[in-house]
Amino acid sequence: MSNQSAHTPVSITTLAKRKEKGQKFACLTAYDALFAELISSSGIEVLLVGDSLGMVLQGHDSTLPVTIEEMVYHMQCVRRGNRGSLIMADLPFMSYASANQSLESAAALMRAGAHIVKLEGGAWLAESTRLLAERGIPVCTHMGLTPQSINRLGGFRVQGRNPDQASTMLEEAQLLEDSGASLLLLECVPVALAKAITEKLEIPVIGIGAGPDTDGQIMVLHDMLGITPSTIRTPKFVKNFLPDSNDGIRGAFIAYAAAVRSGAFPSAEHSFS
Ligand code: KIV
């Protein structure tokens, strides 16, 4: 691909500075070199090699079948296409069941080119988070709706709606920051709770279905291009940015980044009250 420029490399420090200055940032999933190049050269700050690839690429009905070997393969592809974005990679289901296993799995993804790894869970991740961070591996903790626990949660639904759940989530988010997490991702939580967590934590908070007040926003690539596979129910927080584009797919990425930075996305229709 020609005339696609790299941007100044984004690091976790870049994101922390954006939070300090009140500047929002945009993140998207990417699974291959072509889209990694298109997305990162459109100025999106973070590429997530998400285990959502199990659903949008492989056709599974959950993320559970995805293996660490598959994640490493997609990570290597994304690394080749990246033009300066921060690359975050998911540790897949059961690849971090113990702290030692999390070290091995995270090391495989870091060797493949990840800049930060993402783990789903709450307080129980404190030990792994500390271990990884102390050994130089930045961690993003994914809380709220955690798709790897879908069988325990009983479905894809909003988390933290009752006051007890909400205060536990707030406490656990603080514990994970104190344990060394560099980023937090909140999926499908009410606007007020996401706002409270974002204000309480010093680290940047990324939201998906978590309202407009988080420091960054993320979406699954296929959702924001309006090509969610028919086997997946399109969630309320999804917006197709292709109609907002005046330059095809690349224009959709630019429109998404602009809407996140201006605070225009997500609006109330894409959030849970
Ligand atoms: O795997 C993924 O794509 C994710 C996003 C939904 C945040 O974790």
The conformation of residue 183, written as its DSSP 8-state character, comes to E
Answer yes or no: is pLDDT of 20 > 90.
yes
Percent of the chain with pLDDT over 90: 94
d(CA 36, CA 81) in angstroms, rounded, equals 5
Measured from CB, residues less than 6 Å from any atom of ligand 1 are 29, 48, 50-52, 90, 142, 185, 187, 208, 218, 220
- Quote the pLDDT of residue 6: 65
**Residue to substitute in 208, 214, 217 for testing ligand 1 pocket (most ligand atoms within 8 angstroms of CB):** 208
**218-234 pLDDT tens trace:** 999 999 999 999 989 88
d(CA 123, CA 141) in angstroms, rounded, equals 10
**Residue to substitute in 49, 51, 57, 66 for testing ligand 1 pocket (most ligand atoms within 8 angstroms of CB):** 51
Catalytic one among 69, 104, 187, 269? 187
Residue nearest atom 2 in ligand 1 by C-alpha distance: 50
Expressed in angstroms and rounded, the spacing between residue 8 Cα and the centre of ligand 1 is 25
Q: Tell me whether residue 202 is one of the annotated catalytic residues.
A: no
Angle formed by the axes of helices 163-178 and 191-200, nearest 10°: 30
* 191: nearest Cα among 250, 131, 107, 271: 271
The token pair at 16 is 């922390």
Number of helices (H), then strands (E), belonging to the chain: the values are 11, 8
Taken in order 205, 203, 82, 61, the sign of the CA dihedral is negative
Residue nearest atom 1 in ligand 1 by C-alpha distance: 50
Identity of the amino acid at 272: F
**What average pLDDT score do residues 125-141 get?**
98
Expressed in angstroms and rounded, the spacing between residue 208 Cα and the centre of ligand 1 is 9
Count CB neighbours of 155 within 10 A: 7
**46-76 pLDDT tens trace:** 999 999 999 999 999 999 999 999 999 999 9
The residues pairing with 251 across neighbouring beta strands, listed in sequence order, are none
- Quote the pLDDT of residue 187: 98
**1-10 pLDDT tens trace:** 334 566 789 9
- Quote the pLDDT of residue 7: 76
Expressed in angstroms and rounded, the spacing between residue 50 Cα and the centre of ligand 1 is 5
Distances (CA, A) of 30 to 76, 155, 190, 206, 238: 11, 25, 26, 16, 16
d(CA 182, CA 244) in angstroms, rounded, equals 33
Which ligand 1 atom is the nearest neighbour of the CA of 206?
Answer: 7
Which long-range contacts (C-beta less than 8 Å, at least 24 apart) are formed by 98-101? Answer: 98/128, 99/127, 99/128, 99/131
Percent of the chain with pLDDT over 70: 98
Expressed in angstroms and rounded, the spacing between residue 220 Cα and the centre of ligand 1 is 7
**Pair 31, 221: CB distance under 8 Å:** yes
* 42: nearest Cα among 203, 227, 224: 224
Expressed in angstroms and rounded, the spacing between residue 51 Cα and the centre of ligand 1 is 6
**Residue to substitute in 119, 150, 187, 221 for testing ligand 1 pocket (most ligand atoms within 8 angstroms of CB):** 187
DSSP secondary structure, 84-150, as one string:
S-EEEEEPPTTSSSSHHHHHHHHHHHHHTT-SEEEEE-SGGGHHHHHHHHHTT--EEEEEES-GGGH
Which ligand 1 atom is the nearest neighbour of the CA of 90?
Answer: 1
Count CB neighbours of 261 within 10 A: 18
